[in-house]
Structure 1
């Protein structure tokens, strides 16, 4: 008779792993690996990154998962390369070539067209995306051979700049809001220049408050052990860096801990805020909003 190995005990650990996701690794695989390495009871990520992309994948553990919406809604920065002259089914290197062109835009023409892609613009997501069509993921339908036509939708692009330019490939950097597909952006820029193109490299350099400077690799996480591995986590509050913080006293903290609103007092107390978070002695208590001088909790944290 063989005895099965006991399962490792999961820990109620909370914080952020700001992962530099490796190439050819899905976001789900990355979360699973990090969760296993830290024996975390609960984990999730703030914004899917394509398998062929690298860069910032914020992974939330424990109570940090309650702050995922705030990070996910934050501004993002991507650095990407457009390969000129070939369009693919996926708008990146994974797909089959569906169109070619001999036209190669020069740097001046490329820079001249970029202002068309700033501000609030309409963008048609790629057929190979996670958007649902009649309850099915678009990429599942596309892989099954169905024609997927997704409706254009508004996105916000704060800035887009040319980093380097060559005859066959150009590198750009874009600062954008939630829901932007860089693969679609590359496709549309190429079309505006009278040619075709696809994303050949994609790196996410920032998500909300997290940037490349915060990132660690899976190798670093694996190499560290015990307390040294735990020390690589950022606190739960790090995910709320883009929001206003309000510090409460002990009485207010107790009330908020029970999910109750509190009146904010003292000089400079805000009267109205769409979104903010409150703390007591450095710990996150809740996210919520301020209305008529009263903080109203939305999500309460148990730290």
Structure 2
């Protein structure tokens, strides 16, 4: 038998304003330690040098992570024009240079081709798996390999500043699985001048905003105190993009046991995914069919009183 993980059974979301210079996994570990939590996970990796929203789920809230991972996200980033790097960001080795610089008009004219449903090739220094190996490991070993293009939905991509001829700042809203570094790389190729990401900040992710984020310094200051618990958002925040269905105590009891449960009439359509609540607390997520929710995820919490 495996050993059970020690820690508190505490559930909820913490929005961290991640600083540069630390991995997303390291932030998760620090948050888990600060809360003394049994279980924690994040909803979308940020590169070590990226900053901004890193939404961390504790306990039962980890069951809502897929809904934040799938939600739209917004990024502000600066592209260094005139240089390509092997990592597609400022940490990498410069592998190509150009003295050409596009005009503002040329940049704006190129952006529409990166919006809508596009195909994107992830950077070679990424966590994409190639025959069971991480791409970044193969790249570090100077292995030759190709990464297949993947679909990405880009809701918008706009130029918001041009600090100088060598840099342009963009804001992008996109769906799951997008690589900002690949956008910078491909934009540089289209403009004929090369490009890579100089800095990157995630502004928001689903319902979570960087302006509401907690710094690592604040987390360390409040570690192991009730004041830190007060910063937790309810796990229901992770279900913001799903319709809510209220259920009766009898329906909630069935859902908690993993069985279909009655929910109150709503405008949710047959076959839609939704979540059921009792007294405002999430009971389960599932598929709605004719007045009944068929659960796919059940939240193991004491019933609301």
Pairwise TM-score range, normalised by the shorter structure: over 0.9
TM-score, length-scaled by structure 1 = 0.94
Residues 191-213 of structure 1 show CA distances to partners (whole Å, capped at 9, x for unaligned) of: 11111010000001111211113
CA displacement at 1:293 relative to structure 2: 3.5
Distance in 2 (alpha carbons) for counterparts of 1:265 and 1:169: 55
CA displacement at 1:96 relative to structure 2: 0.5
TM-score, length-scaled by structure 2 = 0.93
The residue number in structure 2 matching 1:279 is 277
**2:294 maps to which of 277, 293, 296:** 296
Residues 12-57 of structure 1 show CA distances to partners (whole Å, capped at 9, x for unaligned) of: 1111111111101001100011111111111111111100100111
The residue number in structure 1 matching 2:3 is none
- CA contact under 8 A between 2:247 and 2:262: conserved in structure 1? no
CA displacement at 1:104 relative to structure 2: 1.0
Asked whether 1:158 is paired with 2:159, we answer no
Q: How many residues align?
A: 295
RMSD: 1.4
After TM superposition, the structure 1 stretch with the greater mean CA deviation from structure 2, 133-142 or 248-257, is 248-257
Unpaired runs of 5+ residues, structure 1, are 1-8
Change (3 A) 1:190 1:167: same
- CA contact under 8 A between 1:271 and 1:293: conserved in structure 2? no
Residue pairs, 1:169-248, within 5 angstroms: 169-224=167-222, 226-248=225-247
Distance in 2 (alpha carbons) for counterparts of 1:42 and 1:145: 37
- Give runs of ≥4 in structure 1 deviating > 4 Å: none
Residues 62-96 of structure 1 show CA distances to partners (whole Å, capped at 9, x for unaligned) of: 11111111111111111100001110000001110
Distance in 2 (alpha carbons) for counterparts of 1:187 and 1:272: 43
CA displacement at 1:292 relative to structure 2: 3.4
Distance in 1 (alpha carbons) for counterparts of 2:268 and 2:261: 12
Residue pairs, 1:1-303, within 5 angstroms: 10-165=7-162, 166-224=164-222, 226-266=225-265, 268-303=266-301
After TM superposition, the structure 1 stretch with the greater mean CA deviation from structure 2, 82-91 or 217-226, is 217-226
Distance in 1 (alpha carbons) for counterparts of 2:184 and 2:270: 40
Change (3 A) 1:270 1:242: closer
Unpaired runs of 5+ residues, structure 2, are 1-5
- CA contact under 8 A between 1:269 and 1:293: conserved in structure 2? no
CA displacement at 1:148 relative to structure 2: 2.9
- CA contact under 8 A between 1:209 and 1:240: conserved in structure 2? no
- CA contact under 8 A between 2:263 and 2:276: conserved in structure 1? no
